[in-house]
Structures are given as structure tokens and as C-alpha cells.
Amino acid sequence: MASVSDFRRVSRLGAITLLVVVIWTGDRSGAKPVPLDPNLGLIAAYVRHAHQTGKTSIRVPYPIVEWAELEDLDHALAHTTAVVARLIASRTVYTKDEITTWGKYAAVEKLSRQLEIPAGHCGEIPASMLPLKSEEFVIPEIGGTVEVDGVRLIQRDSTESDIPAQDRHLIFVLIVCSGSIALPNYGPYGHFSLDDSDNVHISAISQNNPLKDELLERTGGKLSSLRSISATIAPRSLQDRR
């Protein structure tokens, strides 16, 4: 049987095959590898290992995720939809090899709009997230916490920090599937929160984040300033990333 380090699979989120890529070639969760049985799948293998070792909670490997390359603020506004939204519901589900957390958001304001909405496979939105109102959309994100056969499975990227808990979020996304699904194009590096005074709050991600740096430098962390900048930026094709 193979170990986690031998587990190879390429999965692509939604329709964006060039910008957001998930590659199972490593682990960023700190989880210890366990023997894998191809007939069982990742989730069942970790549940079985937990039962065999008397554990009620266990960490599951988190894949290496290659988000779209971070751009400067002007290009990020031109290529993606920068949306201010409220999180209104969250649901974590699992399949044979994956844990996914779906967030349901209500758009408050769209500061920029991408030029095109790509077509392609949309995935299956959990029934509990439906129906979606005209201003609502869902974001699927890798990982989360689920309970399977009495075992608590935790899949989390150990290199990332939580977004500050605020009522509103500022997210740079790619809208797909006629507007029902949004992909976090820059991952956690393009996800911020807003307080009641419209100040932008940054998650404490240790890696370099030029988008964050420029956003703070040019706007002073104020949503009103970002709104003024976005009004001067014309949308550009996803293929034009120069």
C-alpha cells in the first residue's frame, strides 16, 4: 500500500484550469502519513487508522495548492471580481478523497467585474446551500472539519491563518457557472475582512503578499479609496495577464 507521500492526483477547481490548480504532491497540514488503500480512498483510510489507534480525532493531509500568481492591485481589479459580501451560511462535506467547505455569501457591492464568465464543470453545490437568490453565490474551499464514523477529521493548511472574524468580507474571486459559484482566485491572499468603519483587515499570513501590500499602501486600508481606484480600472480578459 502507498503512503500519503506517494498519493498523486491533480484536481482543478471549477472551470478555471489555468489559474487555480490543486496538486496532491505534498502535504501542508502537518498530518502524519498513514497507509493508503486505493480501494478505500483517503477519507476511509484515515478513519480506519484512527479506529486502529484508538483516536477520535485525526488530521488529514492538505494538498499543495497553486493559486493564481499574485498581481498588482490594478491587474487584480481588471482580471477578477472584487466583491464585498456577507457570509450567511457554511457547510462542510466530504467525498472519497476530499473535504470541501462551501461558504454561502450575499454580495453587498461589486467593486470590479471580470470581463467574461468562463463555462465548464460547476461541481455539485450542497442542497443545503440552495436555492440561491440573485445576489448570492457560493465559494468552495479545500478542507474543513467533518465527523465520519465517530472520528473527527481535520484538514487544514498549517501555513495559513484565519481571516479576522468580521461581518463583511472583501474577496477577489472569479465568478463561474452563471454567477452561482465564485473561486478564490488568489486563495487566502486575496481574502480580507471589513469592519463597521469600512477598514480593511488583513489575515496574518507570513508569506509575501504584494497584493496586500499595495492595497494597504494605495488605499490606507480604506474601502472608499479602493472604490475610487476600481472605478478607473477597465476589465481585461483572463488571457491577458501581462
Phi-psi region of 149 (alpha: psi -120 to 50; beta: other; left: phi over 0): left
Q: Do 153 and 147 contact (CB within 8 A), yes or no? A: yes
**Residue 239 domain-assigned (yes or no):** no
Domain that holds residue 50: 4-65
What's the predicted TM-score (pTM) here? 0.83
Q: Do 60 and 145 fall within a single domain?
A: no
pLDDT digits (tens, 9 = 90+) for 182-214: 998 898 889 999 999 999 988 655 456 889 999
Tell me what pLDDT residue 51 has. Answer: 96
143 and 75, same domain (yes or no)? yes
Last residue of a domain, one of 65, 97, 113: 65
pLDDT tens digits for 40-94?
889 999 999 999 999 999 999 888 888 888 889 999 999 999 999 999 999 999 9
Tell whether 15 and 135 lie within a shared domain: no
How many angstroms separate the CA atoms of 37 and 43, rounded? 10
Query: Which one is predicted more confidently, 242 or 49?
Result: 49
Residues 21 and 87 in one domain: no
> In a 3-state reduction of DSSP, which class is residue 106?
strand
Whether pLDDT at 2 is above 50: no
Tell me: do 39 and 95 sit in the same domain: no
Stretch 220-227: mean pLDDT, rounded?
97
Does residue 44 form part of some domain?
Answer: yes
